[in-house]
Each structure stands twice: as C-alpha cells, then as structure tokens.
Chains A and B, each alone.
Chain A
Amino acid sequence: MCAVRGLTKTYPAVRGRRGTPATPEVRATDDVRLDIGRGEIFGLLGPNGAGKSTLVRQLTGLMRPDTGSVEILGHDIVRHPERAARILAYLGQESSALDELTVSLAAETTGRLRGLDVRRARQERDAVLDELGLTPLAGRPLRKLSGGQRRLACFATVLVGERPLLVLDEPTTGMDPVARRAVWSAVDRRRAERGTTVLLVTHNVIEAETVLDRVAVLDQGRVIACDTPAGLKEQVAGEVRVELVWRERAPLDVPEVAVLRERAVESGRRWTLRLAPDEARAIVATVTGGAAFAALDDFTLATPSLEDVYLALGGAGQGLVRA
C-alpha cells in the first residue's frame, strides 16, 4: 500500500537574528523506511519534535524530501506530489483554512474540492455529520466550537469524499472520550467495509496501544523500532514500572529509599522506576511499611507501556503522553 525508502530531510541551519537565536542544521527525517499494508492502522509514535509531522508531510506530497522514495498504491509521490491528493485524505494539525466556515459548509466545500458534485457532496456531508454526532452543530462556525469539537469537525471533512488512505496527524487532540470513540468507530467502519488504510500520528501512548495494528517509534528523525504494540512491549517484558508519589519529599533517611534515588526519574514529587519484577516487589514492600509509608502519597505498579519501550530503545525525549 505504502512503501517508504531512505527518506531523508534536513532543515538547513538558520543564522541568528535579533531576538531569534541561531539554530543548527536539523535532520528531521533520517533514512526512514516503512511499509504499510492495506487495511492497516499504522502509527507513528514519538515525542514532540521527533519528526513525525515532517515525515507525514513528505508522504502527503506537502514537502519534498532531500533523498529517498515514497510510493503509495504504486504511485511515486516524490516525483508526482500532486497525485497524493487523489489517493489520500489528510488531517493536519491546523484548521485555519476552515475556521470561519460553518461545520456543514466546511464538510461540503471539502467534498466538492475532493471532486464530488454538489449532490454527492451534500449527501456525504449529511451522512458523515450524522455518523460523528455533529448534526446539532452543523450550523455553527468552527471557530466558535470547543477545541475537541473543532477537531472532530475537521475529521469530518476528511471523511467526505472517499479515499483508500487516511493520514491523520494527532486527530483526537483535545477530544472528550465520546468524540474519540466516534473517531475510532468511524475509522473501524471504513476499514471493515472498504479496507481503508490509516496512518496515524500520535504522541499518546494509550491511544497507540489500543487502536494501532503496528507502530513505528520515531526518535530524532529515525525509526528506532517498528512492530505491533504487543511485539514491542515484549522487548521490555522483563521489567515493570513502579511509580512512587511522595507527600512532601522523599524520605531519604530510609536507606532503601536513598539507594533508589539514583535509579529513579524524578518529576516533582513523583519517582518513576523501571525494575525487575522481584526488585519491584521488594520496593513496594519497603515503601508500604515502616517509616517510608508515612511519606508516601500514592504508588502504582504497572506492566510496561510503549513509553517504557521508547525509553528502553534509547529514546531521548520525554514528551510522550499517557491519557
């Protein structure tokens, strides 16, 4: 369905000007190689700045790579970027082109610009707004909606005018659980009925684990792993994550706790530790009894998530979200 080979894009260094510091050359995508199968929900996971959006912009023909090839359904997108619009529908992070339109007109106009005639565009608009529960908001301009509702309305425009590939850049940002469910059931329906393929950009670990068939983990422009979420998690199966939240500060006078400090990732009152199961049990026993317990506010013991995989693979950033 979609094959990416050796895709590389480097942003040139920018000389500093008054008020803006100089930035060095950045390799936004670095020799990326991906294969996405038909009907797959394929994810790109990584923290902000990992190069996810840059990669997606090259796949959608919005940006020319320096080197490498992108082939979607047999079409060379690097050589013919304009063909991308006839194969895929893209949901970017920005809605400024649609902000001042009503939900209904945004969906209809997008459908017409996707090549539908007026009748089809209106039919599909009504069906999609109904499917996503947006009909009551149809007459409201996008900019007057809440962030999650606006995102859902933009998602609706992606579905008007069928495409075999949907490229969604963080589609559920700001959405409540109802809207999220609407998005994923709309995606599932299209996959079941028409074999639609989805390329999803996300920095949300929970979403990645629940909706994706396969996921490529991106760090600093490189794909550092690519597998099913379960397959990736097997790589760190020997570890569990312990999180300790202290009431005020850690009881460093307890020797077992003091020893732990070096291995913990501290963020405020929260310590995150990745330990072998036996060690984790011992720690939990220590902090839930004796002097340390008085200082403990909360603790969790969890099996590894994709975030742990990301860190275990040597991911440098800290920007993944669990929500």
Chain B
Amino acid sequence: MSVVPAEVLPGSARAVARPVRAAAELAPRARLWPSLVAVYRAQLSRARVARIPLLFVATFQSVGILIMMRGVVDGGREAEAVVAGSAVLVVAFVALNLLAQYFGQLRASGGLDHYATLPVPPAAVVLGAAGAYASFTVPGTLVTAVFGCVLFGLPLTHLWVLAAVIPLAGAALSGLGAAFGLLAPRPELATVLGQLGMSAALLLGVLPPDRMPEAVRFSRDLLPSTYGVEAFARTFGPNPDWAYVLGDLAVCAGVGVVSLAVATWAYRRAAVR
C-alpha cells in the first residue's frame, strides 16, 4: 500500500503508514436473487406506509373512466377496448408514473448512495423495485377488469390472462419508468416524463383505435402498453386468437427486457458520478 516513510507524513504523533504487502480479502458480493428478493420485500413494505392512497387513486381513475365511457360506448369491440385499456392504465399509473417519480427523487436526494455503497448487483435494485411496483398494480387492475366486465356485460371467462398481462406489461412499463427516473437530469423532469407516459397510455390505450387518424394509430403502436391492452382485449371474444395474444405479450416481454436493461445501465451510471 504505502511505501512512503513515516517522517514525511503530515502529523507526527503516530507512525501510521506501514507497508501492506497483500491486498486484504474482500467481503463477498451480495448474490443477485437473494438481494433482489430483499429489495422487492423492502419496496413492497413501502407500499403499506406510503403508497396505499395512490393505489386507490389509480383504481378510482380507471373505474371513473369506465363509467364515463359507458355513456358513449354500447358494447362489442369498442367496449372490449375500453375495459382492457382501463385495466392496463392502472399498470401504467403505478409502474410507469410512480416508479419514474420514485427513482427521480431517490437519485436527486442522494438516496442511491445507500445502494451504491452496498455490494449489490445493479440489476437486483432495479428489478426488485420494478417487480414491487408491478405487484402494487395487481389489486387495482383486477378490480378495474372485473368492474368493467360487469358494467359492459363482457364474459369473465378469460380473465386469467391478466396473470400474464400484468407481469409482462408491468415489466415493460416499470422498466420505462425506472429508466425515465434514472436518466432524467432533474426529478421534476422524471415526474413530467412519467406523467406524459401515463397520459399517453390513457389517451391512446383506452379509446378504440378504429376511428383514430393514421398518425395517432401509429403512435399508439409505438407505446408498449398498447400490446398489453390488445392482448387482454382479444380474449373477450368467443374464440380468441391465442397466437395474436401470445404475439402481443411477446412484444411486452421484449420491451420489458430492453427497458429493464436500459434502466440497469442508467442506475450504474447514476450511482457513480
């Protein structure tokens, strides 16, 4: 370590610089899965303290939209799009918007230092938080979907598909949210990006696409939440085309993998400045 003779050191009270021959052994790294689970558990418990009111807001917003659209839409394909869109909107609100805000604030306040000075893989922090936020959406999405089906008289038969839609749309949207939060130079900007993302999911996801102009339909196709909506909407019919459902879900999964990878990279970048 130090080969400098003690005499030249500032301060003479103690001889402190003794040459050290070999580097000391490092404490082990935290492994990916255990630390992911620890982060997930901690984030989930935050919900109890801080997030319950916001989860209610997310659900009420979607239920409100359903009631509002009931006056406009009678049934058929349009009703399916409205119900699916409102259900996935809960995922967008929590996983995209709230997670972007959370990471934006954590980064701005210096809270990332806590994780950065622990030997934890970046992916564990990002995936743990993203997973927890995606889990927060489960009750709200279920309530919205069931309420919508009852309101519009749609069958509840294939509601189980939500078991795939929520995690995959959740992965895609929470990955985007985490990336927004970690990349935005200021926390206000992270909030704006999260809000805009959610507004896009609301405006482009809830309304049936058939009557929209070409440009709007194109931007709708660019939004990852759209594929979650489509996958869910397809299952209301009497004979759902499962290949298309799988295709839509695969897009969600793909966006999820890419956006979570970007978020992990952004975390690494934000942690060491």
Contact = CB atoms under 8 A, between A and B. Distances in A.
B258 to A, nearest CB: 24
B17 A3 contact: yes
A114 B12 contact: no
A277 to B, nearest CB: 25
Instruction: State which size class the interface on A falls in.
Output: 35 or more
B72 interface: no
A174 interface: no
A209 interface: no
B22, B46, B106 — which one has the most chain A CB atoms within 10 A of its CB? B46
B30 interface: yes
B13 interface: yes
B114 interface: yes
A214 B117 contact: no
Interface in B214-270: none
B117 A94 contact: no
A37, A60, A62 — which one has the most chain B CB atoms within 10 A of its CB? A62
B27 A114 contact: yes
Contact of A61 (B13, B28, B117): B117
A35 interface: yes
Contacts of B110: 92-94, 96
Nearest to B29: A115
Interface string A38-61: 001000000000000000010011
**B-side binding surface: helix, strand, loop or mixed?**
loop
B106 A115 contact: no
B49 A100 contact: yes
A96 B117 contact: no
Contact of A226 (B10, B26, B30, B105): B10
A9 to B, nearest CB: 10
Given A112-B34, A228-B13, A98 B114 contact: yes
A313 to B, nearest CB: 12
Interface stretch (B36-44, B167-175, B192-200): B36-44
B14 A73 contact: no
A214 B273 contact: no
**A-side binding surface: helix, strand, loop or mixed?**
mixed
Contacts of B163: none
Contacts of A228: 11, 13-14
A98 B113 CA distance: 11
Given A61-B272, A100-B50, A105-B42, A35 B9 contact: yes
A317 B17 CA distance: 31
B117 A62 contact: yes
Nearest to A34: B10
B157 interface: no
Nearest to B273: A63
B111 A97 contact: yes
A101 B42 contact: yes
Nearest to B24: A73
A94 B107 CA distance: 11
A94 B113 contact: yes
Contacts of A110: 114, 118
B149 interface: no
B68 interface: no
A92 B22 contact: no
Given A87-B24, A113-B30, A96 B49 contact: no
B116 A85 contact: yes
B54 to A, nearest CB: 12
A164 B49 CA distance: 34
Contacts of B24: 73-75, 87, 164
6 contacts: A33-B10, A40-B14, A62-B116, A89-B117, A92-B113, A105-B42
Interface of B: 1-2, 4, 9-14, 16-18, 20, 22-24, 26-31, 34-35, 38-39, 41-42, 45-46, 49-50, 105-106, 109-120, 124, 271-273
List of 5 A-B pairs having minimum Cβ-Cβ separation, nearest first:
A74-B23, A37-B16, A96-B111, A73-B24, A97-B114
